[in-house]
Structures are given as structure tokens and as C-alpha cells.
Amino acid sequence: MQPVVLVAEDETSIVESLNFILRRAGADVRISYDGEQAIRDIANVRPHAVVLDIMMPRKDGFEVLKATRANPDLAGLPIIMLTAKGQESDREKAEALGASAFMTKPFSNAEVVATVMQLAGQRLADCQASAATAPAADG
Amino acid sequence: MFSPVFAVTLSFGYLAFLFAVAFFTDRLRPHHKQSLVGSPVIYTLSISIYCTSWTFYGAVGSAAKNGLEFITIYLGPTLVFFAWWTVLRKMIRIASQQHTTSIADFISARYGKSARVSVLVTLIALTATTPYIALQLQAVATSFEALISTPTLSIRSSNFFGDIGFWVAVIMAVFVSLYGARLIDAKEQHAGVVAAIALESIVKLFAFVAIGLLVIFGLKLGTQGSPLAPEQLNQASAQVLSLRGGGALRWTALLFLSSAAVLCLPRQFQVTVVENRRERHLATASWLFPTYLFILCLFTVPIAITGLRLLPGSDPDLFVLSVPLFSGYSNWALFAYIGGLASATSMVIMASIALSIMMSNHLVMPLILRFEALGLSRSTDLTRVQILVRQANIAVLLLLGFLYYYLSRSNEGLAAMGLIAFAGVAQIFPALIGGLFWRDGTEVGALAGLAVGYLLWLYFLIFPTLQDTGWALVAGIPDPQGLFIAMDVDPLVGALFWSLSLNVLAYVSLSYASKANALERLQSAYFVDVFRSRRLGESALYERSAAVGDLYDLTQRFIGRDQTYRAFRSYAERQGIRGHLPKPDQNLVPFVERLLAGRIGAASARVMVASIATGETISMDAVIKILDETQQAIEYSHALEQKSTELEAIADQLRDANEQLKALDIMKDDFLSRVSHELRTPMTALRSLTEILTDTDDLSQDEQQRFLKVMAQESKRLTRLLDDILEVSRLESGMGVKLTDTVNPMQVMRDAIAVVEANASTAGVKLVNALPARWRLRALSDSDRLQQVFVNLLSNAIKYNNTPNPSVVVSAEKQDSYLLLHVQDNGPGISEKDQKTLFTKFSRSWQDVVETTTGSGLGLAISKQIVQQMNGEILVRTSLGQGARFSVKLPVFKAGSIEAADARAAMTASIKPE
């Protein structure tokens, strides 16, 4: 089974490359172009990992992160933050809000792929495990 | 007994020794002299000339006759130095700042540098000192007579020349004038004399203590080898230790007299105030001088008791001498004689110097200076004249003293003569103390008080002592002493009470009745408030000018060539001028006046300077303004208030500036972070896509083409971003816009519409041109830049309009001399909060609204800068959901009008310099 990765990013050129490299790495990639859409999509799609840009229209990445972490259904969802500002205060804020990883633009493709796929694969495995054990527990 | 030759030799030897001390002290190098005379102990010892032969001989006599009453004479000064030394300090401070030369000068300075006051005080001092000097002559003559016991010379001789007193007076006159008057110093300080006087104080203390110790331990208070029974000793002791005399009133009167005397006696003023070199020496004197007096006082009692027991019936005023002489200690008697001589000479020296200064400055010199006919007052060097005058004064003074001694010698004891002198100088006391503490005392008041006191004193106390001599020529005047005795009042107490009461009454009432002139008020404030930091400058009141040369010549005549040269040169040095002639400034005339005051007294100096200084004007307003303390205080606090208000204003400005800086700092951070973001975004895409292209072998042709196209776009975006950043910074520094074209803004707008029309149709936005066709308006502008602004506004309106039926309407409006070009869309609008940051660089909220594809996010910031430099502005009217209307407001004029040229000129002038 393919892990599902949601990319929340407003810059189409970056979406283009992220979409390409993650697909090639074996992920099912979905795109959100602004913060509000991202919150909706995360709840609906239930991806195995989220690549989240910080500076986005409507709602920024921090708000999306906060909203996601506030949803108990989404506990344990890996969220990889992307920032173009490279400020240390952004990293601290992201960690405090519960981001799983933090990457600065411009990023290296290999690094992004490795981080995202590792977290997404882990999440996929966890989901499958709990799906397998849950009926056993019921029965 | 000693031979007259021996006694005379001894006396001359002592005087020669004193002279040597004075002479060599003056020859000392300045710093040695300073360390000798500059010591507080020397200062205190010189003050001890208070103890004259009156206290040396007379105190014992007084104790034998009147019991403990003599203590009051020591108690008064003790109280003054203990408790009132602040008064002395005040006098010293004023005197040193005003270059005071004598008590007459001091008091006259207080009452507006009044010549009349100084004359009157000098007269009083002269009259009061005369019996005092007589007293010294009598003491020396009597003691000399006692020492030699020869019939050829006597103090009772009927001719002048046979009288010892005459020769004593002559010798003293020579001795004193030899050095006292020779030295003329700008501040009338006499180091050599002070050293000699201090030495004399030691001599008399040692002599007195020696005799005291002799009678206690050598003579056992007269019991040694004496057949007298102990009860007679007790009787003598009881007599000395009794509180007999005039009772409480007389004691009070004596206490007051001695207190007043130590402040008012010319010689005490001379040593305490004029010769003072350091104010703090007074601190030492305030306990050391009372200690000196206490020692003298202590030994007076045993000497009196012993004298009463051993020599009953003999003159008690001579006990100090006669007790050792007649009990086989004649060498000790010599010592006592020297002590008495020291007491007398020190008093005569100091009193003569003080009085000769007063007499020459206030009586003789003013007269000489008025005699133009003598040819003295214009060119002559007067320093020699001054010396001669002083020497003559000393001779006159001693002659007067001798005459008084000669005429009144039969009837009074030493103490009585001393008290008369005290009562005389006490008449100065009200004017002195009032002058120091009472602001309202005036010249007229002081003159009245002094005159009344002086006349009553003459009548009550001097007149009776001369009655027997035939000098009291005015018949029919009742004998005041008889009056007081008839009223059962001690004559001294009565005389003192009435003379001083009426003196004070006249002083106070006439001070209130008269009006002080400007100088009086100035000096009054100066004296009363001398310890306040503010120093009143006379120059603030007077506008006086005089030629520097005239001032120089004048000064030279009074203080001599060398001193004048030095004084003027140091004044010039302070002005930074080389040479001896200073630049005339507002302080020069007062400076010269002070220099002269140090020599001839404040009043005469004032007259002399006035004779050559012109244009003297006194502004009463200025006087009142300066002198009114309340006003000063109010002004001062007002000034403080103003200051603090100013400070607050400055603090506010600083706070504001700080806020602005903080805001700018935040904006700068924001800008940098935004630039970073805007740069990183295309960079990220470029890097990532490059990696894909290099690392992926199996890319399809389509994919390759697509990625390369994105990369090209992102490269352009980067370039555009950099251009925009540069442009903003150029525009912000005032460059980049040239107002050289006369353009029709509406035509520029039409061109801009043509540029964006294609985009609009692609985006499906309806673009409506509602510009009026016939307005012939012109603006001074830069047509390319203006078009750039319009294109930017139109593009934004087209791009961000995501409504179902998007439209953009362009219209125009006239407002006074301005033209407004509106770009109205029906898009999402901008929230109120976001509008505030709309035109800042990379406004984040703007970014939120306009989002993506906008290039750099710098468009509006650039447009705003451009329009501002065209002396216009960009306005925005919008609310969320209601669309937005951006308007460019430009100053315009009618095409072809006369205003065109003016406007062009005006606008060119208002352009920022590049």
C-alpha cells in the first residue's frame, strides 16, 4: 500500500517539484494551495504525512499545525514544516507546536524524500498495525 | 628699685626687639611669612591685644576694689567668640570681598559707601580711642615710675616734658609710625606687625602667669613670713571674690560693653577682620582666645588677694608690679613691667594703625583730594602723601591720648577709663549689627543713630572726666553724673542705657522714615545675604565707562606704580591679553574701585572713580529686580519649571523618536525576512527542479520541457524581484523620477489600459474606460513612471478579482487643482486592518489578499513612492467584500494656461534636491 502525503504549498513551481519527487519515491501525493484548504484536506484525506509550508494565504502553516494538533483523531500524524524564512524563531515555534520535522527552503530533494517517506512509511505501518489489532481487541 | 637708665634701656631693648621681629617677618620670603602669619595660633594671639594694660594692671585693681565684676570684661568676648563667631565670620567674608580697610570703611560700605558715615564712625572711634590710649600711657608711666622711684621724673609733673607719660607717648609715636604706617598694602594687612603683636601677647601672658604663680607658690597668697592671721586672708579673699558693685544691672551693662567692644573696637576689627587671612582661622580663635582670657582671669584673683593683704592702702592697679617688688622679688617685677609694657605697646600699635588708616582715608585724604588748588589731585603720586598723612595721624593720636591722660589723670582708675572707651565704641554697635542683619537700615538712619549715641556719650561720660580741667567751658549744663547719682543709678549704666536706647531709636525710626538709594539697597542686600551663593554685581546696576588709561593713572597715584602694573596686568591676563592695559569691560571700573577701596576706603574710592568715569546711570527697575529676594526666588523656580517642562518635551520627543525607530526596526526586520522569503521561493524551485533534471535519467520529453519552462519563469521572477528592490531603494532615496514632461495624465491612463487589455480579456475581466474625453489637463510628470503606476494598479485589480462577474472601471474626477484617476474593481476588497499596511513593502496582509503570481509584492510600495515624488498621492477606498477603489491624485493645470509655466516653476522648486 502506498503512503498518502499531503503537500500544503501555495507556490506552484515548488508544488511541481515536490509532487514529482514524492510520487517517484512511491507516495500518493495530494495538494492544498492555501491554509484553509489544507485543514479541510487533512481531516478528509487522512494522509500519512503532511508537508506544510509556513507562509501561505488565508491561514499560515502555524495555524494549520495548531488546528491539526488540536484534533485528537489526527494524533501522531507526522507534519514536516517547510519555511522560506530560515529564522530560528520559526523553528522553535514549530517545535513548540508539535511539528515532526523542520526543513528550510531551498531544500535538497533527497533529504525531503528521505524524511517524508520515512515518517509516512512509519505512520502507514502504525495504521495498518492498529487496524489489524483493533478487531482482535473487539473480538 | 632700678635706676632710670636701666629701666629706659630695658624698655628700649624690648621695643627694639619687637621692631626686629616685625622687620624680619616682613623680610621673610612670602611662603615663610605665610606659614608664620598664616597660622591660626598667631591669628588668635593677635586678637589677644584685646587684653591691654587695662586688663594686665587694671583687672587686678578692679578685682581688689569691686570684686568679681572684672570677670565681665573677659566674659563678653568669650561669649562673642564662642556663640557669635558666625557674626565674625560674616564680617570677615564681607570685608575680604569688599576690600575693607577699617571698621569705618566697613560700616560706610554697608550704607551705600557713604562718606558721611565713614567720617562719623572715624570721629567716634578717634574720640573713644583717645581715653584708651591715655589709659595705656598712664599704665606705662605709672609702672615706670613705680619701677624707678625717682624725683626727677614723675607722672604728676606740672610741665609736659617732666611727665613720664609725655616721653612714653613720644617714643611710642616714633616706634609705631616707623613701621605701622610705612607699609602700605592693598588689603591693609601687616604681617610684621601682626607677628610682633602675637609675640607681645605671649610675653604678657607669660609675665602675668609668672606673677600669678609667684604669689601662689612663692608668697603663699601673702601668708609667707607675714604676721597676719588667717582670717585676714579670708577677708581679702572675700573682698576679691565678692559680687559687690553695681549689681545685676551693672554686670549686664559691662557684659554688653565688652561684647560690643570686641566687635567694634577699631583695633579689634583690624586684627580680627582686616588682618584675617583664612576664614577658618576663626574656628581656632573661637576656643583659643577664650582660653587665653580664662587663664588671665584665673590668675587675677590670687594676685589681687595677695596685694590686698601685703600692700593694703597702696594703688591696687599696680599690684602686679608692686607685689613682687615689695616682697623681695624685684627681678620678677621687671618681668611684670615688660608684660605691662607689652600690653600697652601692642594696644597702641594696633589702635594707631587702625585709626591712622581711618583718619587718613576718611578725614584727611578726602580733604586733600578736594583741594584742586594744591595740584595734587590730577597727576601726583599720592602714595608718599598717604604715608606722611598716616604718620602725622599717629602723632596726632598719641598727642590726643597724652592730652587726655594729662588733663584727666587725677581722677580715674584704669578700669574706669577703659569702660568709657568701651561705651564710646559701643555706639557703633547698632549700626554695625543692624547693617549685618537688618535689610532696611539706611544711611540716614545710621547717621542719626551714630550721631545721637556719640553726642550723648560725650555728654554723659567724656564731659564729666574733663570737668575739673576747665575744659568744660559751657556753663549751665547739668552734670550728668550727678543726675544719675541723684536718681540712684550707676552713672555708667545710666549713660549706657540712655545713649544706646536713643541711638537705636534714632537708627530704626529714621531708617524707616528715609528711603534707601540704589547703592544702599545693593550693599544692604550684599551684607545681609553675603553667604547666599548669588553675588550681586555692581556692574549689573551701573553703566560706567572710563578710559583704561585714566583708570590706570588714577590707580597708580594711590597704590603705586608697581602694584598698579601688577594688578592691571593680571586683569588683562584674565582677559587673555598680553601687556598691562586690559580691554575695558563692564567689570573694569568696579575692579579699579575695589583696588582703590583697599587703600583709601570705599567712599573715597567711589568719589575718585566717579571723577573720571562717565555715563553713570542707575536703573531703579534693575535695582528692584535684582534686589527683590522674593522676585528672585520666584524667577528662579519659574526658570526651573520651564527647564523641567523643556526636559519633559525633549523626553517626549525622544520617546516618539524611539517608537518610530522601533517601528522602523520592525519594518526592516519584516522587510528582510520578506526579501528572504521572496528570494528563497524561486531559488527552492530552481534547485529542486535542477536536481530532478540531473538525477532523473528517465524523464519524458514533456516533463523536461515543463520543468525547464518553470525554471525559466522562476529565473525571471528572481530578476524582477531584484530590480524591484533596487527600484524601491532608489525611489526612497529620492531618485528615479524626473518631473520634466508635461503630460496629460488621462492619456497616460489610456495607454496603460491598452497595455493590460490583453491580460484582462484572458482573465475574463471586463475592463471599462469611463474617462471623460474633453478634459485638457496637464501635469508635470514622468510619463513612463506614471504609466508604470497605472499598469500596476490595473494589473492588481484584474489579477485579484475572483468574483463570478469580474469588472474593472477606470474613471476621473476633478478636485480643486487636482485630478483623481480611479481604478474601481468589484473584487473581494481589503479589510480595514490590512489597508494600513497596504503600501508597505511586502505587506504580509496584502500578500494574503493578493497572494501568488504578483511578482514581488513590491508593486504598491513602488507606486506610492513614484506618485509622492510627483507631489501627489495614492488613495484607497475599500471594505471587505465591497471591492476596492485605488485613486491616483495628481496636481494639474489647464493646458495652455498662464499657470502652466508657474506651476512648472513651482513644482520644480518643490522637488527634492537629488
CB contact under 8 A, B691 and A108: yes
**Which CATH number is associated with domain B630-730?**
1.10.287.130
CB contact under 8 A, B688 and A107: yes
CB B696 within 8 A of CB A24: yes
Q: Which helix (H) or strand (E) holds B687?
A: helix B629-695
Which residue matches cell numbers 529620492?
B734
The partner residue sitting opposite B684, judged by closest CB among A21, A84, A87, is A84
User: Distance between CA B269 and CA B662 in Å, rounded?
Assistant: 70
CB contact under 8 A, B692 and A21: yes
Task: Spell out which residues of chain A touch residue B700, defining contact as CB-CB under 8 Å.
Answer: none
CB B408 within 8 A of CB B469: yes
Query: Cα dihedral angle (B757, B758, B761, B762), rounded to 10 degrees?
Result: -150
Q: Which residue ranges does chain B devote to CATH 3.30.565.10?
A: 737-910
Domains in chain A with CATH codes: 4-138 (3.40.50.2300)
B694 interfaces chain A, CB cutoff of 8 Å: no
User: Distance between CA B605 and CA B595 in Å, rounded?
Assistant: 8
Task: Spell out which residues of chain A touch residue B799, defining contact as CB-CB under 8 Å.
Answer: none
B interface mutation test: which of A7, A13, A103 has the most B CBs within 10 A?
Answer: A13
CB contact under 8 A, B707 and A16: yes
CATH architecture, domain B737-910: 2-Layer Sandwich (3.30)
B interface mutation test: which of A14, A18, A113 has the most B CBs within 10 A?
Answer: A14
User: Distance between CA B347 and CA B46 in Å, rounded?
Assistant: 10
Q: What is the mean pLDDT of each run of 10 residues along chain B (914 residues)?
A: 79 86 79 76 89 84 83 89 85 85 89 89 90 85 76 53 78 77 56 85 91 83 58 68 72 89 90 85 89 91 86 80 83 87 86 85 79 55 75 86 76 70 92 90 93 91 70 60 73 88 94 83 79 52 65 76 82 79 76 77 72 54 46 60 79 84 74 76 89 87 89 87 79 73 87 87 87 84 86 85 85 89 85 65 44 56 82 83 86 70 52 41
∠ CA B443-B620-B608 to the nearest 5 degrees? 55
Would you state the pLDDT for residue B851? 38
B687 interfaces chain A, CB cutoff of 8 Å: yes
Task: Spell out which residues of chain B touch residue A85, defining contact as CB-CB under 8 Å.
Answer: 673, 676-677, 680
Q: List the 66-85 stretch of A: residues with Cβ below 8 A of B.
A: 84-85
Q: How close B714 comes to chain A (CA, Å)? A: 8
| Strand duo B873-878 + B884-891: pairing | antiparallel
Nearest CA in chain A to B709: A13
The partner residue sitting opposite B676, judged by closest CB among A17, A84, A107, is A84
Task: Spell out which residues of chain B touch residue A106, defining contact as CB-CB under 8 Å.
Answer: 680, 683-684, 686-688
The dihedrals phi and psi of B542, each to the nearest 5 degrees, come to: -115, 135
| Helix, strand, coil % in chain B, rounded to nearest 5 | 70, 5, 25
Q: How close A78 comes to chain B (CA, Å)? A: 22
Classified as helix, coil or strand, B815 is: strand
Give B877-891 as a 3 state SS string. EECCCCCEEEEEEEE
Pick from B57, B64, B74, B65: which is nearest to B320 by CA? B57
* ipTM at complex level: 0.90
B677 interfaces chain A, CB cutoff of 8 Å: yes
Q: How close A25 comes to chain B (CA, Å)? A: 12
From the number of C-beta atoms within 10 Å of its C-beta (0-12, 13-18, 19+), residue B455 rates as middle
B interface mutation test: which of A7, A10, A16, A62 has the most B CBs within 10 A?
Answer: A16
Task: Spell out which residues of chain A touch residue B707, defining contact as CB-CB under 8 Å.
Answer: 16-17
CB contact under 8 A, A57 and B703: no
Nearest CA in chain B to A55: B677
B interface mutation test: which of A53, A81, A90, A109 has the most B CBs within 10 A?
Answer: A109
**Paired residues of B825 in beta bridges:** B808
CB contact under 8 A, A105 and B695: no
Q: How close A34 comes to chain B (CA, Å)? A: 10
Give B856-911 as a 3 state SS string. CCCHHHHHHHHHHHCCCEEEEEECCCCCEEEEEEEECEECCCHHHHHHHHHHHHHC
CB contact under 8 A, A13 and B851: no
Distances (CA, A) of B320 to B64, B70, B326, B337, B414: 12, 15, 11, 8, 14
CB contact under 8 A, A13 and B710: yes
Nine-digit cell string for B88? 565674625
The dihedrals phi and psi of B807, each to the nearest 5 degrees, come to: -145, 155
Pick from B885, B732, B738: which is nearest to B808 by CA? B885
User: Distance between CA B863 and CA B728 in Å, rounded?
Assistant: 9
DSSP string, B245-281: SSHHHHHHHHHHHHHHHHHH-HHHHIIIIIS---TTH
Residues found in chain A: 139
Q: Which residue ranges does chain B devote to CATH 1.10.287.130?
A: 630-730
Residues found in chain B: 914
Give Cα B386 to chain centroid, integer Å: 33
Classified as helix, coil or strand, B390 is: helix
Q: List the 5-24 stretch of A: residues with Cβ below 8 A of B.
A: 10-14, 16-18, 20-21, 24
Task: Spell out which residues of chain A touch residue B706, defining contact as CB-CB under 8 Å.
Answer: 16
Give B27-83 as a 3 state SS string. HCCHHHHHHHHCCHHHHHHHHHHHCCHHHHHHHHHHHHHHHHHHHHHHHHHHHHHHH
CB contact under 8 A, A11 and B676: no
Q: List the 707-726 stretch of B: residues with Cβ below 8 A of A.
A: 707, 710, 713-714
Nine-digit cell string for B352? 594707631
| DSSP secondary structure letter of residue A104 | E
Nearest CA in chain A to B714: A13
B681 interfaces chain A, CB cutoff of 8 Å: yes
Q: Which residue ranges does chain B devote to CATH 1.20.1730.10?
A: 4-527
- How many CB atoms are closer than 10 A to CB B666? 10
CB contact under 8 A, A107 and B684: yes
Would you state the pLDDT for residue A130? 80
CB contact under 8 A, A13 and B714: yes
A57 interfaces chain B, CB cutoff of 8 Å: yes
| DSSP secondary structure letter of residue B102 | S
Would you state the pLDDT for residue A8? 93
CATH architecture, domain B4-527: Up-down Bundle (1.20)
Pick from B602, B598, B588, B589: which is nearest to B560 by CA? B598
Q: List the 104-123 stretch of A: residues with Cβ below 8 A of B.
A: 105-110
The dihedrals phi and psi of A30, each to the nearest 5 degrees, come to: -115, 150
A interface mutation test: which of B675, B678, B684 has the most A CBs within 10 A?
Answer: B684
A interface mutation test: which of B677, B834, B856 has the most A CBs within 10 A?
Answer: B677
Q: How close A79 comes to chain B (CA, Å)? A: 20
A and B: number of Cβ contacts within 8 A: 75
User: Distance between CA B845 and CA B857 in Å, rounded?
Assistant: 11
The partner residue sitting opposite B688, judged by closest CB among A17, A84, A85, is A17
The dihedrals phi and psi of B502, each to the nearest 5 degrees, come to: -70, -35
CB B603 within 8 A of CB B118: yes
Task: Spell out which residues of chain B touch residue A20, defining contact as CB-CB under 8 Å.
Answer: 692, 703
CB contact under 8 A, A84 and B681: yes
From the number of C-beta atoms within 10 Å of its C-beta (0-12, 13-18, 19+), residue B754 rates as exposed
Per-residue pLDDT of chain A (139 residues; tens, 9 = 90+): 889 999 999 888 899 999 999 999 999 999 998 888 999 999 998 999 999 998 887 788 899 999 999 988 888 899 999 887 666 778 888 888 889 999 888 888 999 999 999 999 988 888 888 877 755 444 3
Task: Spell out which residues of chain A touch residue B828, defining contact as CB-CB under 8 Å.
Answer: none
Residues 6+ apart with CB under 8 A from B530: B90, B93, B94, B97
Q: Which amino acid is at B80?
A: V
Classified as helix, coil or strand, B217 is: helix
B908 interfaces chain A, CB cutoff of 8 Å: no
